[in-house]
Chain A
Amino acid sequence: MSTQPAMINRYRWYELIGIYAGILAFLTFILAPFVEGFLVSLKPLSQLFSSPYRFIPQNGSFEAYRTMWVSVPGFARYIFNSFFISTIVTTVVLILVVPAAYAFARFKFKGSGQLLGAFLAVNMFSGAVLLIPLFRLMRTFGVLNTYFAIIVPGVAFLIPSAIWLLRTYMMRIPRELDEAAFVDGASHFYTLRRVILPIAMPGITVVAITTFIGSYAQQFIYALTFNSKTEYAPLPVGLFAYFGRQEVIWNELMAASFVGIAPAMIVIFFLQRYLVSGLTAGAVKQ
């Protein structure tokens, strides 16, 4: 029975304590703002500035989750806009990136390396640097104050990282699968659709999730610059409505933040089931 490899006890007990302490510290650092944000959303406004500060709310309630809809009546629209914009951005990115990543992964053509490098270079520009040129471009095309103005820059900025991510994934799919399909008479498009796409599904899911999150988080700067109409404004802009002239309704702002990210969380939850690893098991003998 004692044929288990010695790998299992690679760490000594004090090393394990160190590792777990490190993980705990890191998680605390990441999660503490969320926990505090959630606790704030449960507190009445009067308790927020009490001294000494209470971390745990007294008589906490979900009252703010009800009143937030009253304070900012159009909040549902902001959530819809964010969700809608991110869905469109993700869909467009996937439609463009899947064939591009396949081409970069499989075909040798002149300048492919330079082109990939150029994509990476685009990502190095801060979005803020390009705001003014983009604004002029949008104005020229007459698309300011439309969904279009928020969607197009989102797609453009998210494509490069998506191509790199998916290309790397597709390069790991054995080339013999393409060759076998080619010998059997399949076109490149047929091979992509019937062979590569299903196998690349975990990679595509990762790209979809990162793009969706990226788009959700990125909308703020474009929405503020290229749009001044409430009907197209996404969630980050909507949250500003809780900043009054005299005060900020912190508990409702926090509640709205949590409600706002819920749709994104639900989408990610459903996409996650495609993240099955080891899908290529049995394709080729390694």
Chain B
Amino acid sequence: MGQLNLKKVQKYYGTFEVLKGIELEVRNGEFVVFVGPSGCGKSTLLRMIAGLDETSSGDIMIDGKRVNDLPPVKRGIAMVFQSYALYPHMSVFENIAFPLRVEKMAEEKLKAKVENAARILHLEQRLQQKPGLLSGGQRQRVAIGRAIVREPKIFLFDEPLSNLDAALRADMRIELAKLHKQLKATMIYVTHDQVEAMTMADRIVVLNAGEISQIGAPLELYHKPANMFVAGFIGNPRMNMLPVLCKAVGAGGVEVEYKGQFVTIPVGGRPDLVGQPLTLGVRPEHIHIGQSDLSMTVVPSVIERLGAHTVAYASLDGESENFCAMLPGSAAIRADETVPIGIAATDCHLFDASGIALERRVELTDIDMGLLKIGGA
């Protein structure tokens, strides 16, 4: 078992409220990723679950038992640190065996456990070496090995891949996903890297300024962000935001005006929105060359050709932020030359004045709806 419940969890540093009443339920065997910008409180929350930081108020429950006052070892958790935290004077074997030595496990059983962990993590050939001789990826695997031998109910990962280079990070992502499948353990993973979050998570918890912005399956967050923060945070390059005016709310959606053009976005609206300023969001990858429901011309100032894609940046009249379009690799555009672009109404997101998304009513035919339901948030 490895069920985690957070009930109104708060954390204060002095009078500063770092975490503002976090409510979360993590199911047994789930891979949950905490994601958010620096300083949003994600690492603090993880350290509180681990028992390294005190909880100011609220309850942390593991398998139905309140663990606020228990030391880490009695919570049934194991943690992998960003900096690996390996003991430099001990061999890989002794590093992995450390928690078992603490609990004074019999030598034979200990050896079997360490060797099993080493086999899972492909470290059999390294057991007698010191951490200083290992590569970054191998060191991180040793740190994971130290967590595995404890057979914890819940694994906690604090940005475990952020010190690795890009290629190694991609490999380790796949290894961690495999490990999760193999161990079937509950895993909670903190990262600021949305690619890690999107690729590994069953559910993502997006944190912003000490609050949960949204909880959901990766694609749910991508296609149905609950607010402007999540819309901007998930997806790379960031979603473009355009100021529009609400003209009408009807059965077909919300009609908005953008620079004299009228377009009906298929989202759920309220009558009181009519006449209000709204924000229209569109992802760079949903912009096409040519005409569509909403059409305009832009003059890209910078063009990045990445092979598979061409990313164009332009500034729209009267807006300070860069407008970004991700076009096919073969797109025939040049910097400083006018390009006609179009946006389909079904690709658009709408946010009210307080930044809350209006429920999209589009048929997400290109998405597996079953996948979207995993979170059920």
Contact = CB atoms under 8 A, between A and B. Distances in A.
Question: What are the 4 closest A-B residue pairs judged by CB atoms, nearest first?
Answer: A185-B73, A282-B132, A284-B83, A282-B131
Contact of B88 (A184, A190, A281): A281
A183 B86 contact: no
B81 A281 contact: no
A280 B88 contact: yes
Given A183-B78, A184-B150, A198 B89 contact: yes
A282 B88 CA distance: 6
Given A182-B72, A183-B72, A282-B134, A199 B52 contact: no
Interface stretch (A25-33, A60-68, A159-167, A173-181): A173-181
A283 B87 CA distance: 6
Interface string B74-90: 00011101111111110
B111 to A, nearest CB: 18
Interface string B81-109: 11111111100000000110111000000
Nearest to B86: A283
A185 B87 contact: no
A174 B85 contact: yes
Nearest to B87: A195
Contacts of B132: 281-282
Nearest to A181: B98
Interface of A: 174, 176-177, 179-186, 190, 194-195, 198-199, 279-285
12 contacts: A176-B85, A180-B81, A181-B102, A182-B52, A183-B72, A183-B79, A186-B98, A186-B102, A281-B132, A282-B86, A284-B85, A285-B84
Interface residues of B, number: 33
Given A184-B78, A185-B73, 8 more contacts: A176-B81, A182-B71, A185-B102, A186-B98, A282-B131, A282-B133, A285-B84, A285-B163
B139 to A, nearest CB: 7
B130 interface: yes
A183 B139 contact: no
A284 B52 contact: no
A190 B102 contact: yes
Interface string B257-277: 000000000000000000000
A185 B50 CA distance: 12
Contacts of B72: 182-185
Nearest to B95: A180
Nearest to A201: B89
Contacts of A285: 82-84, 136, 139, 163
- A181, A184, A186, most chain B CB atoms within 10 A: A184
Contacts of B79: 180, 183
Interface string B13-49: 0000000000000000000000000000000000000
A243 to B, nearest CB: 50
A279 B89 contact: yes
Interface in B123-141: 130-134, 136, 139
Contacts of A177: 85, 87
Contacts of A194: 87, 98, 101
B113 to A, nearest CB: 13
B146 interface: yes
A183 B81 CA distance: 11
B77 A183 contact: yes
A100 B152 CA distance: 34
B146 A284 contact: no
Contacts of A174: 83, 85
A186 B84 CA distance: 17
A284 B158 CA distance: 14
A77 to B, nearest CB: 41
Nearest to A173: B88
A180 to B, nearest CB: 4
A283 B85 contact: yes
Contacts of A198: 89
Contact of A179 (B52, B84, B99, B146): B52
A284 B150 CA distance: 21
Nearest to B99: A184
Given A282-B88, A285-B83, A184 B73 contact: yes
A193 to B, nearest CB: 12
A185 B99 contact: yes
A199 B99 contact: no
A186 B146 CA distance: 13
A115 B83 CA distance: 32
Nearest to A186: B102
B189 to A, nearest CB: 16
A174 B82 CA distance: 12
Contacts of B86: 282-284
A282 B85 contact: no
A279 B88 contact: yes
